Structure 1
Amino acid sequence: MRARRRDEPHRTATPLELFFDLCFVVAIAQAGQQLAHALAEGHPGHGISGYLMLFFAIWWAWMNFSWFASAYDTDDPLYRVVTLVQMAGVLILAAGVPRAFVHGDFTVVWCGYLVMRLAMVTQWLRAAHACRGAERRTALRYALGVTVCQIGWLGLIALPREDIPRVFAVVALLELAVPALAERERQTAWHPHHIAERYGLFTLIVLGETVAAATVAVQSALDARDELSVLLPIAGGGLLLVFAAYWIYFAVPIHRHLRSNRQAFRWGYGHYLVFGSAAAVGAGIEIAVEEAFGRAQLSAFAAAGCVTVPAALFMMTVWLIHSRHHKRGAAQQLVLPVSSLLVLVCTFAGHRAVLAAGLVASGTVAAGVLLTSRQGAAPVE
C-alpha cells in the first residue's frame, strides 16, 4: 500500500467509493428523519443536539476514509474487504440512530462506529507497514489517534445521559485534532482533483436525500388531505432551494484552490456545516408540510425557520469555505452573504416562507450568473 502521486492524471472516484457513499445515505436519512420528528414534536434542543452529534459521527467516518483513499487506494482484494467492513459499520450505526435520539442509548451507534474506525485503523497500519521514514510515522500516528479517540467514545455509553454532550464535545475535538497532529511532519499524498470530486459527489447524495425526504412528506400529506393549494408552494419552494444549492456549490472548480493542508483542512472541516445544513433542509421541508396541516406542535414561524435557517447556513458556509476564492469584486463577493440574510428574512413569510426562500435562492443563482458573465471569475489564490 504505497502512496499514490498527487499529480496523477485522470484521477476519479472509483465504483467502490461510490458504493461506500451510498451506504451513508441510510444513516443520513435516519438522522434527518429523527431531527424532523423531534422538531415537529416541539423538542428543538433535544433534536438539534442529537442531530449535530450523530451527523458528526456520519460525516467524520466518511471524511476520514475519503482522504485516506485519496492517498492510498490500492483497490486490491484486502483493501476492498476492509472497506466493505466499514460499510457494514455505517449500516449498524444507522440502525442505532433512532434509539440514540429517542432514549439517549448510543450503544448500537458506538458499535457501528467501532467497526468503521477499527477498519480505518487497519488501513493505516497496512499503509505504515508498506512505508518508511516520516510517511510511516504519519500512518502510525493516525492509527494511534483513531484508537485513542474510539476509547474516548466509550463515555457515551458508560456515563450518565446528562454527561453525553460534554463527552461528545471533548472527544470530537480530539478527533478533529488527529489529522493535524498526524501530518505535522509529513503531509499525506491526497489528490486535489480527486478529493474535490469526492466532496462534490457526497454533496449530491445529501441533496438527493433532501429531495427524497421532501417528496415522501408531500406524498403522505397529499394522500391524507388532497389540498394542492397548500402543498404546491412548499414543494415548489423546496425544489427551488435544492436546485439552487446544487448550482451554488458546483459553480466553481475548487480543486485548484486546494494546494496545502492548511487550505484543505479549513475546506474539508467546513463541510460539516455544508453537509449537515443541506440534509437539514429536507427535514425542515417535512416539518413545514406537517405544520401546514396542523400535525406539528410548533408555530408557522418556527416551522419556516426549520427550512430557512439551514438553507441560509448552507449558502453562507459555501461562500465562506468554497465560493469566495473564485469571486472577483465586491458585487460578486456579496451575492451569497446578502442572499443568506434574505433567506432568513423569509422566515417571517409564514406559510409562504419556503416558496419565498426558494425564489430568493433562484435569484441568487441568476445574479451570480449575470455578474460572472460580466466580470469573469477571479484568478485562483
Structure 2
Amino acid sequence: MSEKPEEPAEERHASWLELFFDLVAVAGVGQLSHLVHGSTSWADVGLYVVCFLAFWTAWMCFTVYGNVAGGAARTMPVLLAMAGLVVMAASVTGVHGDHAKVFALAYIAVRVLSDRVWENRREGPRVLVDWPVAQLGFGVTPWVASLWTPEPWRYWLWALGVLIDLLVTFTLSGDRLALNLEAKMSSRRAPAVPATAAHLDTAHFGERLGLFTIIVLGEGVLTVTDAMAETPDWNGPLLWTAFAALAVLATLWSAALREGNGGIPYLAADRLKPRVLLPLHCLVAGLLAAFASGLGDAVEAVGHEHLEPSTRWLLAGCVAALAVIGALCGLRSGRHAWWAVVVLAPGLALPAVIAFSGGGLAPARVLWLLVLAAGAGLSGWFFDRRKHRHHRNRRTDEAERVLRLD
C-alpha cells in the first residue's frame, strides 16, 4: 500500500489581531516624524532617535509575542499594549514639556506588561531566546528614574535606557537565560512547571517586519498628499515634485520589500540572526520615517524654488545611509562585490552633491537625483541577473560542444 505524500504546511499570515495592533504604528510613526519635520536642531534629531527606538521597542515586544503565541495569543494584553502605544504616540507633540512624563509612564507600562504576558500557569513560563529584551526590564530602570528628573537630563536617561536594551540584544544569551530561569524554579520547594525556550517563526516574522515598513512608507505618501492639499496653487513644478516624491518612495519600497526581506534593502531571508535583524530593522524604519517627513518639506518648498539646508541634509543623509545598509546586506546575501560598488557609487556621491552644493537645485531635481541614488541597486540587480544568465548560457554552449565532440 503506497503512502500518501505529506501535504505542505499551510503558510502562516498575520492574524486579524496582529493587523489591528499594527494600526497603532500608523499613528506612532506619523507623530514621531513631526519631531524632525522642518527642524534644524540636532537636539530634535537626537530626541527623535530615542523616542523612535522606545516606540519601536514597545511595539516589537508584542509583535514577537504574537509571532510566538500565534492563535493562542491573548487578546486583552495586546489591546492594553495598543492603548499604551496610543498614549505614547499622542504624547510626542508635548514631549518637550509635561507630556514627557506621560510618554515615559506609558512606555514603562507597556514594557512591564510585555514581561508578564509570557507567563503561563499551565504550560510554565516561556523565554524568548531570539530577543530576550521583550522579557527583561533592565532598560526600563532609567525611564523610571526619569520621572523625577528635570530636563534635559530626563532625555539622557531615556537614551541610557534604550542603550541598555541594545546591549542586552547583542550580548545576552537567551538560551542561558532559559537555563538560569529553569534552575531558579527547580530550586524552589514547591513543584513548578519548567521554563521552555520559545523561538520566532522566521517566515511569519519577516512578513510582520515588512508590514511595519509598508506603514512607514505609507506615512511618506500621506505627507506628500497633505503638502499638496495645503498648497493653493497647483502648477507644473508642484506636480513634478510630487511625482518625484512618489517615485523615490516606490524605489525604496522595491529595494526594501521586493528585493529585500523584512523591510531591509537587498537582504535575503535567513541571512541574519534576530538579534542583528531587529536593531537593523529599527534603524531602517527610523531612516524611512525621517525621510518621509523630509518629503513633505520638499513639496512645501516648491514655491521657494529651493530646499532648506536642513531638509537637503535630512533627505540626502537618509538615502546615503540606506545605500550603505543595502550594500552590506546585499554582500551578506551573496551578491558580488561589483554590485555593491554599483550601489555605493551613486548612493553616496549624489547625496553628497545634494547636501554640500545643492542649495540652488529645485526640489523636484533634488528628488529625481535621489531616485537615481536609491535605485542604483535595482539596476545593479538587473545587470547581475544578466551576468548570471550569460554565464549559464555559456556553460550550456560548452556542454553542447563537448557532446558534439563525443
C-alpha distance in 2 between matches for 1:244 and 1:142: 33
Per the alignment, in what secondary structure is the counterpart of residue 273 of structure 2?
A: helix
Classify 1:248/1:290 alpha carbon distance in 2 versus 1 (closer, same or farther; 3 Å). Answer: same
AA in 1 matched with 2:174: E
Q: Which residue of 1 aligns with 2:343?
A: 336
AA in 2 matched with 1:169: A
Q: Which residue of 2 aligns with 1:379?
A: none
Flag structure 1 segments of 5+ consecutive residues without an equivalent: 1-6, 377-381
Does 1:109 pair with 2:103? yes
Superposed, which structure 2 residues align to 1:205-354 within 5 Å?
205-221=215-231, 223=232, 226-252=233-259, 254=261, 257-258=269-270, 263-294=273-304, 300-320=308-328, 322-347=329-354, 348-349=357-358, 350-351=361-362, 352-354=365-367
Q: Which residue of 2 aligns with 1:32?
A: 33
Query: Is the 1:142–1:182 Cα contact (8 Å) retained in structure 2?
Result: no
Query: Is the 2:255–2:375 Cα contact (8 Å) retained in structure 1?
Result: no
C-alpha distance in 1 between matches for 2:380 and 2:83: 44
Does 1:82 pair with 2:80? no
1:117-161 deviation line (CA, Å, top 9, x unaligned): 2321221223x76237xx56979x767622x43332123332121
Per the alignment, in what secondary structure is the counterpart of residue 190 of structure 1?
A: coil
AA in 2 matched with 1:13: A
Deviation at 1:8, TM superposition (A): 6.7
Query: Is the 1:332–1:372 Cα contact (8 Å) retained in structure 2?
Result: no
Does 1:359 pair with 2:359? no
Deviation at 1:104, TM superposition (A): 7.0
AA in 2 matched with 1:107: K
Bigger radius of gyration: 2
Q: Which residue of 2 aligns with 1:4?
A: none
Classify 1:50/1:279 alpha carbon distance in 2 versus 1 (closer, same or farther; 3 Å). Answer: same
Deviation at 1:230, TM superposition (A): 3.2
C-alpha distance in 2 between matches for 1:88 and 1:182: 31
| Identity score, percent | 22
Flag structure 2 segments of 5+ consecutive residues without an equivalent: 1-7, 179-196, 263-267, 390-406
Deviation at 1:363, TM superposition (A): 4.6
Q: Which residue of 2 aligns with 1:368?
A: 381
Deviation at 1:236, TM superposition (A): 2.2
C-alpha distance in 2 between matches for 1:326 and 1:60: 26
C-alpha distance in 2 between matches for 1:113 and 1:56: 11
C-alpha distance in 1 between matches for 2:128 and 2:200: 17
C-alpha distance in 1 between matches for 2:286 and 2:240: 24
AA in 1 matched with 2:257: F
Query: Is the 1:237–1:359 Cα contact (8 Å) retained in structure 2?
Result: no
C-alpha distance in 2 between matches for 1:263 and 1:113: 26
C-alpha distance in 1 between matches for 2:134 and 2:34: 33
Deviation at 1:197, TM superposition (A): 1.1
C-alpha distance in 2 between matches for 1:144 and 1:63: 12
1:275-309 deviation line (CA, Å, top 9, x unaligned): 001111111112223344359xx964432222221
Superposed, which structure 2 residues align to 1:52-201 within 5 Å?
52-75=49-72, 79-100=74-95, 102-103=96-97, 105-126=99-120, 130-131=123-124, 135=126, 145-146=136-137, 148-179=138-169, 180-181=171-172, 183-185=174-176, 186=178, 188-201=198-211
Query: Is the 2:21–2:82 Cα contact (8 Å) retained in structure 1?
Result: yes
Q: Which residue of 2 aligns with 1:11?
A: 12
Query: Is the 2:58–2:111 Cα contact (8 Å) retained in structure 1?
Result: yes
Query: Is the 1:281–1:306 Cα contact (8 Å) retained in structure 2?
Result: yes
Q: TM-score, length-normalised on structure 1?
A: 0.81
AA in 2 matched with 1:353: V
Query: Is the 2:128–2:135 Cα contact (8 Å) retained in structure 1?
Result: no
C-alpha distance in 2 between matches for 1:326 and 1:281: 25
1:225-254 deviation line (CA, Å, top 9, x unaligned): x15233234312211111111111124464
Classify 1:324/1:204 alpha carbon distance in 2 versus 1 (closer, same or farther; 3 Å). Answer: farther
Per the alignment, in what secondary structure is the counterpart of residue 34 of structure 2?
A: helix
Match of 1:46 among 43, 48, 51: 43
Classify 1:163/1:370 alpha carbon distance in 2 versus 1 (closer, same or farther; 3 Å). Answer: same
C-alpha distance in 2 between matches for 1:71 and 1:104: 37
C-alpha distance in 2 between matches for 1:270 and 1:286: 25
AA in 2 matched with 1:243: A
Deviation at 1:16, TM superposition (A): 1.2
Classify 1:137/1:92 alpha carbon distance in 2 versus 1 (closer, same or farther; 3 Å). Answer: closer
AA in 1 matched with 2:61: N
Q: Which residue of 1 aligns with 2:182?
A: none
C-alpha distance in 2 between matches for 1:149 and 1:326: 32
Q: TM-score, length-normalised on structure 2?
A: 0.77
AA in 2 matched with 1:25: V
Q: How many residues align?
A: 350
AA in 1 matched with 2:123: A
Classify 1:236/1:253 alpha carbon distance in 2 versus 1 (closer, same or farther; 3 Å). Answer: closer
